[in-house]
Amino acid sequence: MTAAERQTNGQGEAGTGLYPSYVSMDEFIDVEGLRELDGYITQRLNDHIDRNSDPLFLNQHRLEKGTPYQPGVREIWLTRTVAGTPYNYLDLDKTELWEFTEAASEFTLLVDFIKRLPFSAFGRMLLIYDDGGRTVPAHRDHEETDVCHEFVWMRTNMRKPFYTLNPVTGEKKYIEGHTAWFDTVNQYHGSDAGEGLTFSIRVDGRFTDEIRGPIPFDRANSAATPAIWAAERGGRA
C-alpha cells in the first residue's frame, strides 16, 4: 500500500505526529510481580499447546489485506461475556457483561495479579500466545475513533517483539518495557516473530480514578487519548 492510499484509508490522524506511540504503564503496576509470573504462565501455556484446542486470534482490520485473517496465534479468554450476549467487539470494556471462564481457574495467580491492576472494574481478560515463530500482521483493533478502550497490554518477559506503527510514515515503535496502553484505532500495531513461546496479556476495563485523573479524555477523537497522553508526557514511553 502506498502512503497516498493509506492517507485515503481513514488514516487522517496518522499524520499528526502522534504516531507511533504508546504509554508505558510500568510505573502503575507491580512489574516485579508480573515478571515472577513468567514460569507459572509458561508452564500452563505449554499444557494448552499440548491440548491444541484454543481458539485462533482473528485479525480483521489489517493494514495489508493480503496478510492472513488467521495468522495462527492462539488465545485464552479468562473472561467472557455472559451467555446470550450478541458478539460486539466494542463491548470489551462494558464491565458488567464479563464473567470468568473455566480457563481462569487454571491461571489463578495471574487472575490474582490482574485484580491488583489499577482498574476499578474489569471487562475482557485475554492471553495471546504463539510457539511457532508467527507474526501478528499490523492491524487496528476497530475503526471507531470515538471509542477509547482503557486497557493494559503486558508481558512477563521481553521475548514478544510488539510494536505500534504509523501507517503513513511506516515508522515502528517497539515496546520496551513490560506494559503499554496505546491507540488501537488511529495507528496500527502487531508483533514480529519471536523465538520459542511468546505471549502477552491484555486486560480491559475502567481505570481507577487515580489513574484517570491526568489522562486527557475529553476530546473528539477519543481513541487517540493514549497518544495524546504519551505526547503530554514529553514523548516519554
Which region among 125-133, 139-147, 193-201, 225-233 touches Fe ion (by CB under 5 A)?
139-147
HSE-CB of 108 using CA atoms within 13 angstroms = 1
DSSP state of 56: B
Closest CB 57 distance from Fe ion, rounded Å = 9
Could you tell me the smallest distance in angstroms from the CB atom of residue 184 to Fe ion?
6
Helix (H) or strand (E) holding 228: helix 225-232
**At its nearest, how many Å lie between Fe ion and the CB of residue 140?**
7
Task: Identify which of residues 46 and 60 has a Cβ nearer to Fe ion in the complex.
Answer: 60
CB of 187 closer than 8 Å to CB of 20: yes
Q: Are 199 and 123 in contact (CB under 8 A)?
A: no
To which residue does cell 486527557 refer? Answer: 216
Residue 204 found at the interface with Fe ion (CB under 5 A): no
State the minimum distance, in angstroms, from the CB of residue 141 to Fe ion. Answer: 4
The C-alpha cell that represents 64 in the structure block? 495489508
Residue whose Cβ sits closest to Fe ion:
141
Q: Is 130 in the site for Fe ion (CB under 5 A)?
A: no
Q: Work out whether 13 is an interface residue with Fe ion (CB under 5 A).
A: no
Residue 150 touching Fe ion (CB under 5 A): no
Question: Whats the size of the chain, residue-wise?
Answer: 237
Alpha carbon distance 108, 39 (integer Å):
14
Nearer to Fe ion, 13 or 141 (CB): 141
Q: Residue 82 carries which side chain, given as an amino acid letter? A: V
* Choice between 24 and 46, CB closer to Fe ion: 24
141 lines the binding site for Fe ion (CB under 5 A): yes
Give min distance, CB of 202 to Fe ion, in A: 8
Helix or strand (DSSP H, E) at 31: helix 31-35
Q: Catalog residues that contact Fe ion under the rule CB under 5 A.
A: 141
